[in-house]
Structure 1
Amino acid sequence: MHHLYTQGMNIDLRHLRCFLTVAEEGGFTAAGRRLHLTQPTLTRNIRALEQSLGVKLFERSTRRTELTEKGKALQESLAPLLRQLDSTLRDLQQGEKLRIGFSWGLPEGLSRLAARFGEETGVGVEFIRCDTPQAGLDTGEADLGLLRSASVPKGLRGLRLYEEERIAAVPASWRLAERTELDWAELTDFPLIINTVSGTTFPDMWPAGRRPTVGAECRNFDEWLEQVAVGLGVGTAPVSAARRYTHPAVRLVPLTGAPAVPAYLAHPSHGAHPQAARFADQAWRAADELQA
């Protein structure tokens, strides 16, 4: 058992990890699966933490689990602290490493930069695929994350490396696949495939009243590609996808009038890996050679 003693309170580190997982997953069932714990065991851990702190952390009902204001405050402070603790313990056991998370499509130049960085600093760089909204930063699996989003999420700091144009992905069996070019506005006439976890395209990017319907939802790039392939709808992705991913049942068509896709390299605002900001700065300075 790992305990923290502070102002007379005996806090079990296991209870803190359970709390954070429930907060991140939005419920006890999903958190239990992630932690490989039964729901009664998880409930006891949360109740023990609430009793130790003397505060209520969750509002529970039969339909949902929501953080209280005290719970939200604890999550915001605790997440970076546990990330830093985990990173420190790993470094002690394995030697210093910098983990870079990505959901799909790493820029080709990033591996060259990582090799140079390792030679200069002695810090090994690892690339880890993480199908999460923040490319592993939100789960503690990564120290840096390659994010493709309109902005950097709260609690993170990021440097904007570059922007990419978009291409359209359409089923090869559709007549649409015969086109040499499509316009962003035309896509509203077709069902849209949405990657809800790490995607870059959502219906609200079009004007109200002219938004596409949702043909299907998925949770990673591979599923997204397969949903297009079977004809459930169309999608869009950065142009680098055309160079790195192919599918015999999907045609990638040049797209005009579409908003660009920014790419950021981000790390936690607090409790970040000591080398995270340095690597991000080097990547920003070398942005021209990083574009995939």
Structure 2
Amino acid sequence: MSTGQGTGNGGRRIEVRHLRAFLAIADEGGVTRAATRLGVTQPVVSRTLAALERHLGVRLVDRSTHHLALTAEGLAFRDKAATAVAAFEEALDPGRLRHWPLRLGHAWSAFGPYTTPLLRTWQQRHPETPLELLRIDDRTAGLTRGEVDAALLRGPVDTPGLVTEVLFTEERVAAVAADGPLAARASLSLADLTGGAVVLNTVSGATTPALWPLHARPAATLTVANTDDWLTAIAAGRGSGVSGASTAQMHPHAGVTYVPLDDAPPLPVLLARRDGPGHPAFPRLAALAREIVAREQRTPPGNSIE
């Protein structure tokens, strides 16, 4: 079955297979892997993509690097193509929509204490649409690269093209070496951390030197690229860190003690999506996330409902 209008090139039309080929390339990051996934040859996939790009009049895939990446136009088109294919398949067989999972990215700590209730409740209510929770070490957890359909993000996010909603805020904590002098304190202030180095995750973290007043910033900083390296550096006594309270629950570490911070502003936890058409299940995810937060915050500790 064809969709779209004729291209003027021999009366050829854009069909669903063109969209499927493009989506396979976007998901797999390469033509060869996309061809394997689709069960066709690499030249067929390349020709199909080229025909789609000619029809649209734009480049969807950047071929200048060994690992193919979507162009800005490709990122914008991906959601439209995915929505069109899902609608086509649902029209033929509503049950086939279950094969399109909803990918939810996060850089660390996921949905904090609400992670398990969210995943379990989603599975109970929407078993036809798998919810895949993916950790991606990126400030937008892969959202701007098209690797996920939605993302749980922390801290202010001003990336163009994203729509965000604050779901809840969490207190910040200091992360210090378990055998260091600060670990025995009942609470700390930001100033208590400035005498030594502060470890910053500059790839996906939400803490920057701007958290401290200009006249009282840390004496030194140590940069890392992910939460695992952040924890390792702190445990080794190379510096202290600052994160949200969920990190203490989601990332316990024998060499790290988490201590409440008295004077740090709360950290917002956001649900983000790209502006424009997206996964049809996203509104249900947003509604459930709000429901879970409201429900769990009303439930006394130790009596969580799952």
TM-score, length of structure 2 as denominator length? 0.68
Offset of residue 162 of structure 1: 0.5
Alignment of 1:194 with 2:190, yes or no, is no
Offset of residue 135 of structure 1: 1.1
In structure 1, the partner of 2:50 is 3
Alignment of 1:104 with 2:108, yes or no, is yes
Alignment of 1:159 with 2:162, yes or no, is no
In structure 1, the partner of 2:31 is none
In structure 1, the partner of 2:225 is 219
For residues 111 and 140 of structure 1, the distance between their equivalents in structure 2, rounded to whole angstroms, comes to 25
Identity %: 30
Query: Residues 213 and 84 from structure 1, CA distance in 2 versus in 1: closer, same or farther, beyond 3 angstroms?
Result: farther
In structure 1, the partner of 2:294 is 288
Offset of residue 17 of structure 1: 1.9
For residues 289 and 198 of structure 1, the distance between their equivalents in structure 2, rounded to whole angstroms, comes to 29
Matches of residues 40-119 of structure 1 in structure 2 within 5 Å?
75=72, 77-85=73-81, 95-106=99-110, 107-119=112-124
For residues 152 and 276 of structure 2, the distance between their equivalents in structure 1, rounded to whole angstroms, comes to 18
Query: Residues 286 and 132 from structure 1, CA distance in 2 versus in 1: closer, same or farther, beyond 3 angstroms?
Result: same
Offset of residue 5 of structure 1: 5.6
In structure 2, the partner of 1:55 is none
For residues 159 and 183 of structure 1, the distance between their equivalents in structure 2, rounded to whole angstroms, comes to 29
For residues 87 and 10 of structure 1, the distance between their equivalents in structure 2, rounded to whole angstroms, comes to 19
Offset of residue 240 of structure 1: 1.8
The AA in structure 2 aligned to 1:225 is L
Aligned partners of 1:267 and 1:277 also within 8 Å: no
For residues 203 and 100 of structure 2, the distance between their equivalents in structure 1, rounded to whole angstroms, comes to 29
Aligned partners of 1:104 and 1:129 also within 8 Å: yes
Give the superposed CA RMSD: 3.1
Q: Secondary structure at the match of 1:259?
A: coil
Query: Residues 223 and 279 from structure 1, CA distance in 2 versus in 1: closer, same or farther, beyond 3 angstroms?
Result: same
For residues 88 and 233 of structure 1, the distance between their equivalents in structure 2, rounded to whole angstroms, comes to 50
Query: Residues 272 and 206 from structure 1, CA distance in 2 versus in 1: closer, same or farther, beyond 3 angstroms?
Result: same
For residues 268 and 147 of structure 1, the distance between their equivalents in structure 2, rounded to whole angstroms, comes to 13
Offset of residue 108 of structure 1: 4.1
Offset of residue 260 of structure 1: 0.7
In structure 1, the partner of 2:176 is 170
In structure 1, the partner of 2:251 is 245
Q: How many residues align?
A: 241
Moved more, 147-156 or 254-263: 147-156
Aligned partners of 2:106 and 2:136 also within 8 Å: yes
For structure 2, list consecutive stretches of 5 or more residues without a partner in the other structure. 1-45, 90-95, 298-303
In structure 2, the partner of 1:25 is none
For residues 84 and 290 of structure 1, the distance between their equivalents in structure 2, rounded to whole angstroms, comes to 35
Offset of residue 84 of structure 1: 4.2
